[in-house]
Amino acid sequence: MPLRFFTVFITFARLNPLFMKVLYNLGILIFSALARFISPFNAKASLWVRGRKNWEEKITAAINHEDKVIWIHCASLGEFEQGRTLIEAIKRRKPVYKILLTFFSPSGYEIRKNYNNADCISYLPADTPANAAKFIDLVRPEFVIFVKYEFWNNYISELYRNEIPLYLVSGIFRPGQHFFKWYGGFFRGMLMKFERIFVQDKVSSDLLSLSGIEKVTLAGDTRFDRVVQIAGSVRDIPELDQFRRDEKLFLAGSSWKPDEEIIAEYINNFPYRMKWVFAPHEVDKPNIERLEKLFKVKCVRFSEYGKSSADARVLIIDNIGMLSSAYRYAYIAAIGGGFGKGIHNILEPACWGIPIFFGPNHGKFKEAVDLLKENGAKSFSSYNEFKDILDLWLSDEKLYTFSAEIASKYVKENAGATEIIIKEIFSKDINRTS
């Protein structure tokens, strides 16, 4: 009986878009209520709730109805890095436009709330019909850019009703997503309302086309442009140069406990094969202390580094913001997250021509799959796999050089998405109001 009821329920939902809309709005209300309920006990929920208070006053203070506004929305910090090259390109080419930058997640807003290329930075109010209508009326954007994964039905519908062009950039789609399921009509309806969807790969383009969505451009991923930009403005870190001296340097970037335990075992067995640097994902004191206890060799924190510490075998970067510049000093890099929800940014080391390691959970990351296929990167699931790959790269110079060149070439060949997107949007929208 319960199974039969569920089947009837889903079938009805599929055939009745209005019912799906009601269900969607109910889900938004429940999520918002739950966030408020747990906010006294959860730091992230507290930021999420408090950050959305007085959003109308904040936007009104920064934007008035005479301003020409471009609204760019990112879920979190990773999506911001994908949208950043677009923001900065717009600011350079059309400084008359104000940029409104919104975030869904505290991990994006709290880190980038003082970003100086945006005229107003705010949390996105919860996606209720009332909030969407009020928000669009206050902002009145010339056009809107959502980055990668953001699909908020009420905002999308309100923009569509007001004939305000909406773009998705750096989009990536997979067959298993709800857009392409038998019950996905409601979600495909959102995609139909975008003025244009800029996707990262042909798989995404083909999936959308088969679903009847034709306003699609294969542009690539703006993250490639961002890492090239970062490499062009990288800062010197003399401490890392002093630390590595004339040895090769291994850098574990955005590392988590499972990655660190495997790498630490190798270091304890073979400490003198390289110098070792860790930039853990979490730099709070308890995590740094836990990481230090893994090593049987001399270890020093970056904040305490001095000339007397140069004989240490392991250095731990205990700050945020240095990692992208640190990769230039590395010979080989390992990127964390592959034993959890997914790997962190592997393009930052790749652009320096550095062979890359990461854990097994990488299947949703196109750049990881591509580099594995081309042998510019390797994946490990155990200590023995890690050891075999690292030993091979250290002993076979030709293989190392081949992998390094593949990594560097991959980034260079895939850069350029920002220019494709900007040309399309500027020609269709900015020029019509200039």
| DSSP state at residue 426 | I
Domains 60-220+416-433 and 237-414 share a fold: yes
Give the three-class secondary structure for 247: coil
CA distance 64 to 73: 19
Q: Given this model, what pLDDT does residue 9 score? A: 46
Q: Kindly report, residue by residue over 189-244, the tens digit of the pLDDT.
A: 999 999 999 999 999 999 999 999 999 999 999 999 999 988 888 889 999 999 99
Helix (H) or strand (E) holding 293: none
Phi, psi of 138 (to 5 degrees): -70, -40
Q: How far apart are CA 307 and CA 327, in angstroms?
A: 21
CB-count burial class (<10 Å; 0-12, 13-18, 19+) for 283:
middle
pLDDT of residue 89: 95
Domain 237-414 falls under CATH 3.40.50.2000: yes
**Residue 40: HSE in the Cβ half-sphere, 13 Å Cα cutoff:** 1
- Report d(CA 41, CA 359) in Å as an integer: 32
Per DSSP, the three-state class of 273 is coil
173 in Cβ contact with 94 (< 8 Å)? no
Report angle CA 348, 351, 357 to the nearest 5 degrees. 65
Give the C-alpha separation, 22 to 96, whole Å.
40
Give the architecture (CATH level 2) of 60-220+416-433: 3-Layer(aba) Sandwich (3.40)
Q: Is the separation of the CB atoms in 339 and 256 below 8 Å? A: yes
Strands, E assignment, 349-430: 356-358, 377-379
Task: Give the burial class of 287: count Cβ atoms within 10 A of its Cβ; 0-12 exposed, 13-18 middle, 19 or more buried.
Answer: middle
- Measuring CA to CA, which residue among 382, 340, 344, 347 is closest to residue 361? 340
Check residue 23 and give its pLDDT.
86
C-beta separation of 85 from 170 below 8 A: no
β-pairing, 299-301 vs 314-316, is: parallel
C-alpha distances in angstroms, 114 versus 110, 111, 334?
9, 8, 30
Give the pLDDT means over successive 10-residue stretches in the chain (434 positions): 43 63 90 93 92 92 92 94 94 94 93 94 96 96 94 97 97 91 88 96 94 95 91 89 95 96 97 97 94 96 88 94 93 96 93 95 92 96 97 96 96 95 80 45
| Beta-bridge mates of residue 398 | none
What is the spatial order of strands in the sheet that 166-171 belongs to? 120-123, 98-103, 69-74, 143-147, 166-171, 196-199, 216-218
What pLDDT score was predicted for residue 7?
A: 45
Distance CA 360, CA 339 (A): 6
Taking the chain, what is the end-to-end CA distance rounded to the nearest angstrom?
62
- Domain ranges for the chain, please list them: 60-220+416-433, 237-414
**Spatial CA neighbour of 313 closest among 299, 303, 292, 327:** 299
Phi, psi of 341 (to 5 degrees): -75, -25
Take residue 120 and report the two structure tokens written for it: 């107003």
Query: How far is it, in rounded angstroms, from Cα 181 to Cα 14?
Result: 10
The C-alpha angle with vertex 228 and arms to 223 and 231, in degrees rounded to 5, equals 125
Q: Would you give the DSSP letter of residue 40?
A: T
pLDDT at 428: 65
Among 202, 203, 234, 196, CA closest to 218: 202
Instruction: Decide: 225 and 418 in contact? Cβ < 8 Å.
Output: yes
Whole-number pLDDT of residue 6: 40
Q: How far is CA 340 from CA 335, 337, 343, in A?
A: 12, 5, 8
Nearest Cα to 263, choosing from 205, 336, 322? 336
CA-based torsion, 95, 434, 100, 72: positive or negative: negative
Structure confidence at residue 98 (pLDDT): 96
